[in-house]
Amino acid sequence: MRLAWVELREFRNHAFTRINPVPNGLIVAVGPNGEGKTNLLEGMFFVFALASPRVSANAPVVRDGGDAAYARGEVETLGGRMLVEVEIPNRGASRVKLNRNPVRRKRDVRRQVRGVFFGPDDLDIVRGDASRRRRFLDEALVALWPLKETLLTTYDRVVRQRNRLLREWEGRGEPPALEAWDGELAQAGAAVMRARRDVVAAVAPSASEEFVALAGYALETTYGPNVGAVGGELEEAIRERLRERRADELARRTCLVGPHRDDVELAVRDLGARAFASHGEAWAAALCLRLGLAKAVEREIGEPPVLLVDDPFSALDPRRRDLVAERLARRGGQVVVSVADEADVPEAAHATWDVQAGRVAPRTGA
Amino acid sequence: MYEGPIQELIDELSRLPGIGPKSAQRLAFWLVKAPADDAKRLARAIVEAKERIAFCRECGNVAEGDLCRICRDPGRDVTTLCVVEEPKDAATIEKAGVVKGRYHILGGAISPLDGVGPEDLRVQELLDRVARDHVIEVILATNPNLEGNATAMYVAAMLTPFGVRVTRLASGLPVGGDLEYADEVTLSQALEGRREM
């Protein structure tokens, strides 16, 4: 998969940036901090994911004083050329067009074009709390199998409905229809847990492979579902646990059972990554999870997704930095990497872009 | 924003479901510009509907008088009840002509987020009918979404003591549809409900 060209308008500090063509191989965007490298990668990610990897609201993406930001680009895939256009208004939902036709469901675009983003915030996958790891699993789920996104939205709604029911119940005993919501929670929750288990099974081996190449030892990624089913049906196991926690749930007035309380265990050298890994090690683990996801997506769709890697080198020692650069260059497919320091531009780079004050200038003759 | 009657009209229109301020404004100006007869006909239709239409005491559907057209029809099987959320759902099924029995309109679906609990629905009326009319089958035709499913599960549980046959409409692939565009959940439900050929 390859981004043929990209255009950003009124996007953060990019008033108008058009890059045509976007070359193949490893591309390095270089420039001082605050000049718009991350914004460029974020804008490129919009063409694939129709959303920001950094923020959930639209407004911060729109350039100061503008009404809407625009990200457009054409992606060459095995399935044909896809022209993706995203209009991101200050308020309200984004509007998306695929090959000039309005798109109602975002997943109809996301299953055609695939991109994977890594950024410094991903360190929280390793160092942050469980919610950040759940989010990684869900981002990975959507990247791997865009049609499964409905599992997440359905489950989220079940939990909100059931929480409201528990919170507003003033009577004695349990609220009427709680049993019905138990059934919904068990069904939707089991579907999410099965999907997350599949995500970990797809991503973990590739992530570890990447980590071994950098560190020489394995990264273990283990799914920790909130409810385990030993041999039996997962739905039934969730119902059983709900019965056990009934009194607790009524007292605390919130859902205490289900995949919204899952975690993922990350470990290196038999130590929990959160507690024991050094900063550089944690960083490498986060990066390798994203690279592992990219590999898994490639296996799924038969071609490498476009990789957007924001500032990957700053926390790595020179040896690991060179290893990462070399692996990215040899990976096949398109990779855009941002670096702040000219000295960090790897020799293996196929093209270099200078980013300054929201403008991008491809270097010639490099 | 505007003065007098036009603003009043906009305010009234924007209270209708699905009508935002912009649509209300468009409708209001259309009505003001339209021939007087058109506007009066609409006003009359609203007043008349309000005055003459009531809700059927049996099924809860809209009716002219005490009973709706279907509950008055002696040819309809009283031992089969098709339970739906809203009158429009009954109308949709009726248009297809696939249900020979009668309907029962719940008046919505259970949704704590919208403040709707089972006590806000016509569930007791359903149980009364089932007991009185020796109903054999209750078809739960609430919407195939979260709230509709939860409602169906709740109603099914309430019907258990009556020993009637309780069925739920199947979920799956739309006829004339394309496999490629089916989402995961629909596909897995279609697979669960697959049939021997």
The 10s digit of each residue's pLDDT in A168-224 is: 998 888 998 999 999 999 999 999 999 999 999 999 999 999 999 999 999 999 999
**Chain B: residue whose CA lies nearest to A151:** B185
Q: Does A145 touch chain B (CB under 8 A)?
A: yes
Each as own residue / partner, the long-range contacts of residues B165-168 (CB below 8 Å, 24 or more positions apart, any chain) are B165/B136, B165/B137, B165/B138, B166/B137, B166/B138, B166/B140, B167/B137, B167/B138, B167/B139, B167/B140, B168/B139, B168/B140
Instruction: Find out whether A30 and A54 touch, Cβ atoms under 8 Å.
Output: no
What integer pLDDT is reported at residue B182 of this predicted model? Answer: 80
- Nearest CA distance, B158 vs chain A (angstrom): 10
**Chain A: residue whose CA lies nearest to B113:** A161
Neighbours of B124 (CB within 10 A): 11
pLDDT band at A366 (very low <50, low <70, confident <90, very high): very low
Q: Chain B contacts of A175, Cβ < 8 Å?
A: 117
Residues 6 or more apart whose Cβ sits within 8 Å of residue A41: A29, A117, A119, A308, A309, A310, A336, A338
CB contact under 8 A, A181 and B150: yes
pLDDT band at A230 (very low <50, low <70, confident <90, very high): low
**A59: which 2 tokens?**
């407004």
β-sheet bridge partners, residue A264? A223
Closest in A154, A176, A191 to B146, CB measured: A154
Helix (H, G, I), strand (E, B) or coil at A130: helix
Mean pLDDT of chain A: 92
Report how far apart, in Å, the C-alpha atoms of A8 and of each of A68, A71, B136 are. Answer: 11, 5, 64
Q: Does A282 touch chain B (CB under 8 A)?
A: no
β-sheet bridge partners, residue A200? none
CB contact under 8 A, A148 and B147: no
The region, left, alpha or beta by phi > 0 then psi within -120 to 50, assigned to residue B15 is alpha
**Chain A: residue whose CA lies nearest to B151:** A180
pLDDT band at A325 (very low <50, low <70, confident <90, very high): very high
Report how far apart, in Å, the C-alpha atoms of A252 and of each of A164, A167, A169, A320, B185 are. Answer: 12, 8, 11, 48, 31
Superfamily of domain B4-38: RecR Domain 1 (1.10.8.420)
Residues 6 or more apart whose Cβ sits within 8 Å of residue A357: A13, A35, A36
- Nearest CA distance, B75 vs chain A (angstrom): 35
Query: Identity (one letter) of the amino acid at B35?
Result: P
Q: What is the 3-state secondary structure (H, E, C) of B143-167?
A: CCCHHHHHHHHHHHHHHHHHCCEEE
Q: Does A190 touch chain B (CB under 8 A)?
A: no
Report how far apart, in Å, the C-alpha atoms of A129 and of each of A133, A155, A177, A295 are. Answer: 7, 21, 33, 25
User: What is the spatial distance between Cα A194 and Cα A104, in angstroms, rounded to a whole number?
Assistant: 27
DSSP state of B63: E
Residues forming CATH 3.40.1360.10 domain(s) in chain B: 75-168
Closest in B146, B154, B157 to A161, CB measured: B146
What integer pLDDT is reported at residue A278 of this predicted model? Answer: 84
CB contact under 8 A, A180 and B153: yes
Residues forming CATH 1.10.8.420 domain(s) in chain B: 4-38
Closest in B146, B151, B184 to A147, CB measured: B184
Disruptive mutation site among B140, B145, B183, B191 for chain A (greatest number of A CBs within 10 Å): B183
User: What is the spatial distance between Cα A59 and Cα A266, in angstroms, rounded to a whole number?
Assistant: 34
Query: What is chain B's pLDDT, residue by residue, as a tens digit (197 residues)?
Result: 788 889 999 999 999 888 888 899 999 999 999 999 999 999 999 999 888 888 999 999 999 889 999 999 999 999 999 999 999 999 999 999 999 999 999 999 999 999 999 999 999 999 999 999 999 999 999 999 999 999 999 999 999 999 999 999 998 898 888 888 787 778 888 898 898 99
Closest in B118, B185, B188 to A177, CB measured: B118
Q: What is the dihedral of CA B171, B174, B180, B181, to 10 degrees?
A: -90
Least confident of A212-216, A232-236, A267-271, B115-119: A267-271
User: What is the spatial distance between Cα A305 and Cα A334, in angstroms, rounded to a whole number?
Assistant: 8
Disruptive mutation site among B121, B145, B154 for chain A (greatest number of A CBs within 10 Å): B154
Q: In what order do the strands lie in the sheet with A219-224?
A: A219-224, A263-268, A271-272
- Nearest CA distance, B76 vs chain A (angstrom): 31
Q: Chain A contacts of B183, Cβ < 8 Å?
A: 107, 147, 150
User: What is the spatial distance between Cα A333 and Cα A212, in angstroms, rounded to a whole number?
Assistant: 22
CB contact under 8 A, B117 and A177: yes
Q: Is A158 exposed, middle or buried (0-12, 13-18, 19+ CB in 10 A)?
A: buried
Name the residue with higher pLDDT: A304 or A271: A304
DSSP state of A22: P
Helix (H, G, I), strand (E, B) or coil at A295: helix
A-contacting residues in B 64-123 (Cβ below 8 Å): 110-113, 117-119
Q: How many CB pairs under 8 A join A and B?
A: 56
Helices A178-215 and A130-144 meet at what angle, rounded to 10? 90
CB contact under 8 A, A176 and B112: no
- Cα first-last separation, chain B: 65
Phi, psi values for residue A144, rounded to 5°: -80, -50
CB contact under 8 A, A164 and B149: no
Q: Does B149 touch chain A (CB under 8 A)?
A: yes
User: What is the spatial distance between Cα B57 and Cα B68, in angstroms, rounded to a whole number?
Assistant: 8
CB contact under 8 A, B153 and A162: no
CB contact under 8 A, B146 and A157: yes
Maximum mean pLDDT: which of A275-279, A287-291, B52-56: A287-291
Give pLDDT tens digits for A123-151. 999 999 999 999 999 999 999 999 889 89
H/E run at residue B194: none
Question: Model ipTM?
Answer: 0.79
Give pLDDT tens digits for A42-84. 999 999 999 998 888 777 899 988 899 999 999 999 999 999 9
Closest in B111, B118, B184 to A176, CB measured: B118
Phi, psi values for residue B141, rounded to 5°: -115, 40
Q: In what order do the strands lie in the sheet with A80-89?
A: A14-19, A2-11, A68-77, A80-89, A95-98, A101-102
Among the listed residues A338, A326, A211, A340, the one whose alpha carbon sits nearest the alpha carbon of residue A280? A211
* This model's pTM is above 0.95: no
**Chain A: residue whose CA lies nearest to B186:** A150
* Portion of chain A with pLDDT greater than 70, in percent: 97
Q: How far is CA A273 from the centre of its chain?
A: 20
Q: In what order do the strands lie in the sheet with B77-84?
A: B101-105, B77-84, B137-140, B165-168
Fold designation for B75-168: Dna Topoisomerase Vi A Subunit; Chain: A, domain 2 (3.40.1360)
